[in-house]
Structure 1
Amino acid sequence: MSDTTFNVSPEVTKKRDREIVDYVGELRTALRRPIEQHWLPRNPVVSCDDDHALIKALTYSFYDHVPLRLTPDALWITLARGFALHVNENAEELRHRFVSHSGKKKLTVTRMDFSLGRENPWPEVFAAFADQIDEHTGGLGKIVRADFSTTGPTEVAASNLMAMDTFKSYFKYDFFGGCGIPRITLAGTEQDWNKLRRLAQQFAEFGLEDWINALDPILEQFCNAKRGKVDDEFWKSMFRYNSGSGRAVMTGWANVLFPYFKNDREQLYFNPFLNDWKQRLEIDDKQHRQERWEDPQGIGIGAIPNCMTSVPLTVHWGTQETEMRLVGGLLAVTQDEATNTLEPECGWVIIYEYESPVDELFAHYYKWLEQRAEKQIAKPSHDIFNP
């Protein structure tokens, strides 16, 4: 990069230093909106509002008697903004110069690795939209894009946004984001996964043919992955849970792992999503909040029966009987402290049959003490609290 500096009014001397401002707070005030994410300025910010930044810089430089630095990008973005205003002011007259369609064509970008509330590479989204604009305008979208020796990632992002603004009369921009699973580890051996698949196929003999027919291709992908043949698109399609905007529904092939769902009355019904999970996933990824509410493509997590066994057990303490229950299954999610890897974990619990208040420490034990005092039941030889 080669800067050229020349004198304009060398006789003036600096009059003042501008205070550094909280540019995020200033932007929030100027835009009157909450901010999700923002760029990081190269130097301390002394002004950040809804005035034109080029003119603000000229004003401060002139009155404070301090030098001014101008980049091709700053001047180009200024000119491109003027062009954008002109195009939008005369959108229909200029339509034939840029696009062949009528109305607004929907452009979409999907990034399931994005999640609101955390840092995301938004400039990549701007670039993806700008590339689509180029495709639909015969490359004319590049007319406002900055491409100078001084153009850095922030300038590229700003000029891509300028392209989106210039042609917003012809396009509607839709972004689909969500969460994602960074990586998956399949434990065990290849033989383990082949065995699991064979065992599952036996369920078809007991009236679950439809479920196993849909499930077997899923299990085959586990076996393939264990052999090193990983289908990226398949694993990315494992799970979506669109919540926070409209009805919260789960889509993806994880649905196929369950032959039954339950309704609000805890009644079971057969899984209706076994054979079209892929189509439903694609539809859900593109649905808006109202569409998802009116036409859900999956079910809420609460509709999935839990993975807890529940077996009643009568325990005999001498001549006395106590009704208990054995609970087991997938009961917890653990997280490795070193790698942050999550894992569903098997567990078991032995509980008393009667209900107990959950907000009292050792409430079930105190209840047992009360029962023993009333019924004179013998104390068990092994007390879980006093071994």
Structure 2
Amino acid sequence: MAQVKPPMKFKVHNVEPVTTPRSQISQQDIEKCWSQFGNVQACSQLDKDAQPVGCFNKPNLLAEIVYDSFYEHRPLKLNPNIIWLTIAQGFGRYVDLHAEELRSKFVQFEGKKTLLVKRRVTGSGTQGIDWPSVFPEFAEQIGSFIGKETQQLVECNFSNTSPVDRICSHITLMDVCKNYFTYRMLGEGCGIPWIELLGTVDDWKLIREKTAQLRSFGLASDKHLVEWINQVLLALDHFVSAAEGHPDLFYWGSVCNLSGMSGIKGSPLTGWIQVFFPYLIGEDENKPNKNWGISQWYRAYEQAKRLGVEGALKESQQDGGRGYPYGIELREFPSGLSKAPVEYENLETGEKMNLTFYGGIVATYQHSDGALEARSGWAVVEQKEASRPKEAKRPKGFFDFDEDF
């Protein structure tokens, strides 16, 4: 094993070193320095292996410590990461001044490409973002265009490079290339951690077979059933593939919203769950609205998969918005219940009742691992002549069957 040599220390001037301590600064002092630029969302923490005694609310700190060391007779330590960051920053200014002349040395396209990084948030603003993971992701995306060699050329990769040094070099790389890229971040507050498909592979295959058989009932004059079934079969293909152990994560990430795009609760659903609903609630119970967004959603999905979400939205805007997926508000989805009217007569007593059999999706269960599951249930209900007043308040999630069907 090669022996690590100690850092090289050598005498420069014939002066007595001054070692009296300077006034110490705190993390709050550093954050105050950052706040001169705006509202601080996150920042690195001060190192604890030495006493912090100055921050950047003054001139360049490398130049300043050289100046102070000389005039105050203080010893000086020079870190390769700091020297390289200084060189790379100077190079970045040169590139900024000659961006178009140097374009071909960095990228092979005109204008700017948008680089996107998405992260989960846990509240408003940028709360909960794992910032140390953001910078290398931008650096990797830049490297895919400028080449890994150029990326690594700008980055700090020395024997004593710390995580903070490396992050600073990633930001320097972003600075060097800012004339060729637009940097964007999306803070996603929503998402499904994992999905478990219950049953067996054969169950999902059987659902697909049964669904395919429904096409034969479509009227020649009305293509809506066939078009709907075709979209459902595309979805079921993904169910079968996932059950076999090959989930398309881009597709499954789009179950609620296209490509998992975040939003606030109450936003329309733009994901593929809508393809299971050929009709939506209309003003008249007996005349539901056709869900015209089914096939349009799949076109938007294919576009997003080909161009990325940002590219798809941009192309959609150029196309007058026709490529953007239709969203369905939760209140527009029909109830998950089926009902059948039954005329009942008790031959012993002569009593007659108008019954309704209800069956369908009636309850949400939460498992010990936190997962939610919808399950079925049924009821036999005698229809009353007098209906409940519409203005009566009902518990959240309570269905007024007479009104919702």
TM-score over 0.5 (shorter chain): yes
| 2:143 paired residue number | 131
SS of 1:108 mapped into structure 2: strand
Structure 1 segment 117-266 matched on structure 2, within 5 A = 117-120=127-130, 121-135=133-147, 139-175=149-185, 178=188, 180-207=191-218, 208-240=225-257, 242-244=261-263, 250-261=269-280
Q: Give deviations 1:92-116, integer Å, cap 9, x for gaps.
A: 44445544544x23143454x6445
Aligned equivalents of 2:355, 2:77: Cα separation in 1: 79
Aligned equivalents of 2:251, 2:108: Cα separation in 1: 36
Aligned equivalents of 2:242, 2:337: Cα separation in 1: 30
Q: Give deviations 1:4-39, integer Å, cap 9, x for gaps.
A: 45567654242444132326742552221351x444
Tell me if the contact between 1:225 and 1:231 (Cα under 8 Å) persists in the aligned partners.
Answer: yes
Which has the higher mean CA deviation after the structures are superposed, 175-184 or 73-82? Answer: 175-184
Q: Is the aligned partner of 1:108 residue 2:115?
A: yes
Tell me if the contact between 1:30 and 1:49 (Cα under 8 Å) persists in the aligned partners.
Answer: no
Q: Give deviations 1:66-93, integer Å, cap 9, x for gaps.
A: 7654321111111211121122123344
SS of 1:31 mapped into structure 2: coil
Give the superposed CA RMSD: 4.7
| 1:354 paired residue number | 389
Summarize the Cα distance change of 1:313–1:81 in structure 2 as closer, same or farther, 3 Å threshold.
same
Structure 2 residue identity aligned to 1:29:
S
Instruction: Please state how far the C-alpha of 1:184 moved relative to its aligned partner.
Output: 1.8
Structure 2 residue identity aligned to 1:285:
V
Structure 1 segment 364-375 matched on structure 2, within 5 A = none
Counterpart pick for 2:39 among 33, 37, 40:
33
Structure 1 residue identity aligned to 2:136:
E
Instruction: Please state how far the C-alpha of 1:165 moved relative to its aligned partner.
Output: 0.9
Tell me if the contact between 2:274 and 2:328 (Cα under 8 Å) persists in the aligned partners.
Answer: no
Q: Give deviations 1:127-148, integer Å, cap 9, x for gaps.
A: 223313423xx95444422221
Q: Is the aligned partner of 1:340 residue 2:370?
A: yes
Tell me if the contact between 2:269 and 2:330 (Cα under 8 Å) persists in the aligned partners.
Answer: no
Aligned equivalents of 2:136, 2:374: Cα separation in 1: 34
Structure 1 residue identity aligned to 2:161:
T
Q: Give deviations 1:195-217, integer Å, cap 9, x for gaps.
A: 33333334334432211122113
Tell me if the contact between 2:279 and 2:334 (Cα under 8 Å) persists in the aligned partners.
Answer: no
Aligned equivalents of 1:21, 1:263: Cα separation in 2: 59
Aligned equivalents of 1:150, 1:54: Cα separation in 2: 18
Instruction: Please state how far the C-alpha of 1:125 moved relative to its aligned partner.
Output: 1.8
Aligned equivalents of 2:331, 2:156: Cα separation in 1: 51
Aligned equivalents of 2:358, 2:29: Cα separation in 1: 56
Tell me if the contact between 2:115 and 2:181 (Cα under 8 Å) persists in the aligned partners.
Answer: no
Aligned equivalents of 2:232, 2:249: Cα separation in 1: 18
Aligned equivalents of 2:79, 2:246: Cα separation in 1: 50
Counterpart pick for 1:75 among 74, 83, 96:
83
| 1:3 paired residue number | 7
Counterpart pick for 2:302 among 274, 279, 299:
279
Tell me if the contact between 1:201 and 1:212 (Cα under 8 Å) persists in the aligned partners.
Answer: yes
| 2:20 paired residue number | 14
SS of 2:293 mapped into structure 1: coil
Summarize the Cα distance change of 1:106–1:199 in structure 2 as closer, same or farther, 3 Å threshold.
same
Summarize the Cα distance change of 1:81–1:193 in structure 2 as closer, same or farther, 3 Å threshold.
same
TM-score, normalisation: structure 2:
0.67
Q: Unpaired runs of 5+ in structure 2? A: 219-224, 396-405
Summarize the Cα distance change of 1:140–1:16 in structure 2 as closer, same or farther, 3 Å threshold.
closer
Counterpart pick for 2:94 among 83, 86, 100:
86
Summarize the Cα distance change of 1:231–1:242 in structure 2 as closer, same or farther, 3 Å threshold.
closer
Summarize the Cα distance change of 1:259–1:18 in structure 2 as closer, same or farther, 3 Å threshold.
same
TM-score, normalisation: structure 1:
0.69
Tell me if the contact between 1:309 and 1:329 (Cα under 8 Å) persists in the aligned partners.
Answer: yes
Instruction: Please state how far the C-alpha of 1:154 moved relative to its aligned partner.
Output: 2.8
Q: Give deviations 1:197-250, integer Å, cap 9, x for gaps.
A: 3333343344322111221132133233323344444434444353559x9554
Tell me if the contact between 1:280 and 1:297 (Cα under 8 Å) persists in the aligned partners.
Answer: no
